[in-house]
């Protein structure tokens, strides 16, 4: 919107650029809501651990009935724990746009050379094949074998993620899924986050781990490397960690130790 109105003012379509009055600029990382920024390693590990645990065991006590399903406990065909765990794992580990996640079909996941891939259909008609980490692939396989079949009502035969009514999961439902998983994280490691914040988390931690920038770009589906700057947040202690393992000083450290 900022770029559009800047051009509109230059082209003479409008006399005043309303976006000049916006207090938070896209480049001001610290000015964004905390929910849209990357989780720290401890926070991300807590969320991923809760998602994995939810997918593996489900709730200790059966939850309330889904909205509109009547009173009492949820029936087996309304249980969404496996699906919810998969959603958070995909968002945090792969960093898709929420629209890419909800538009995914079961047939978009395939195996090549023993590795499970997700063919993501992104912006501008571009597609990318992203390999899934082992723990995520395991939960995906379990969901396809068990969880999805419980939710399937035959209404959305291709959709990967289904609501308890058997419809393709809507974009607006994803935040509720994240919040349910967050409720399982111990308070000291819990912080609210949006789907876009998990996309920031993916980019930030991959780059902090010295992953090749072009590889990160391809995982996220960006057209060029410059876009990564908007998804890279600062992490506590990352500069100190980088200087402790300085590549130029490694030989000197080894020589002194010898």
Is 196 labeled as catalytic in the residue annotation? yes
Is 199 labeled as catalytic in the residue annotation? yes
Q: What is the 3-state secondary structure (H, E, C) of the chain?
A: CHHHHHHHHHHCCCCCCHHHHCCCCCCCHHHCCHHHCCCCHHHHHHHHHHHHHHHHHCCCCCCECCCCCCCCECCHHHCCHHHHHHHHHHHHHHCCCHHHHHCCEHHHEEEECCEEEEEEECHHHCEEEEECCHHHHHHHHHHHHHHHHHHCCCCCCCECCECCCCCECCHHHHHHHHHHHHCCCCHHHCCCCCHHHHHHHHHHHHHHCCCCHHHHHHHHCCCCHHHHHHHCCCCCCHHHHHHHCCCCCHHHHHHHHC
* Spatial separation of the C-alpha atoms in residues 200 and 207, rounded to whole Å: 11
Is 222 labeled as catalytic in the residue annotation? yes
Determine which one of 6, 20, 123, 158 is catalytic: 123
Determine which one of 37, 180, 199, 217 is catalytic: 199
Is 123 labeled as catalytic in the residue annotation? yes
Is 97 labeled as catalytic in the residue annotation? yes
Q: Within a 10 A sphere around the Cβ of 45, how many other Cβ atoms?
A: 14
Is 143 labeled as catalytic in the residue annotation? no
Determine which one of 128, 148, 191, 196 is catalytic: 196
* Token pair belonging to 143: 């969901």
Determine which one of 97, 148, 189, 200 is catalytic: 97
Determine which one of 83, 200, 217, 222 is catalytic: 222
Report, as residue numbers or ranges, the catalytic residues: 97, 123, 196, 199, 222, 231
């Amino acid at each position: 919107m900022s770029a559009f109105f800047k051009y509109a003012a230059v082209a003479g379509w409008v006399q005043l650029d309303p976006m000049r009055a916006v207090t938070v600029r896209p480049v001001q990382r610290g000015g964004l809501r905390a929910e849209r920024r990357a989780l720290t390693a401890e926070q991300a590990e807590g969320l991923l651990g809760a998602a994995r645990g939810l997918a593996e065991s489900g709730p200790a006590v059966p939850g309330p009935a889904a909205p509109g399903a009547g009173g009492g406990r949820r029936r087996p065909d309304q249980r969404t724990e496996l699906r919810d765990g998969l959603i958070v794992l995909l968002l945090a580990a792969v960093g898709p746009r929420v629209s890419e996640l909800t538009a995914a079909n079961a047939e978009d996941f395939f195996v090549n050379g023993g590795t499970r891939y997700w063919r993501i259909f992104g912006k501008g008609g571009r597609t990318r094949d992203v390999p899934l980490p082992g723990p995520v692939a395991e939960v995906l396989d379990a969901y396809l074998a068990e969880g999805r079949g419980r939710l399937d009502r035959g209404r959305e035969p291709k959709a990967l993620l289904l609501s308890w009514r058997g419809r393709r999961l809507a974009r607006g439902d994803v935040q509720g899924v994240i919040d349910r998983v967050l409720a399982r994280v111990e308070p000291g490691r819990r912080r609210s986050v949006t789907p876009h914040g998990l996309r920031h988390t993916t980019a930030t931690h991959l780059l902090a781990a010295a992953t090749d920038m072009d590889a990160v770009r391809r995982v996220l589906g960006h057209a060029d490397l410059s876009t990564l700057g908007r998804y890279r947040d600062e992490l506590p202690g990352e500069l100190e960690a980088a200087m402790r393992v300085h590549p130029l000083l490694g030989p000197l450290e080894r020589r002194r130790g010898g």
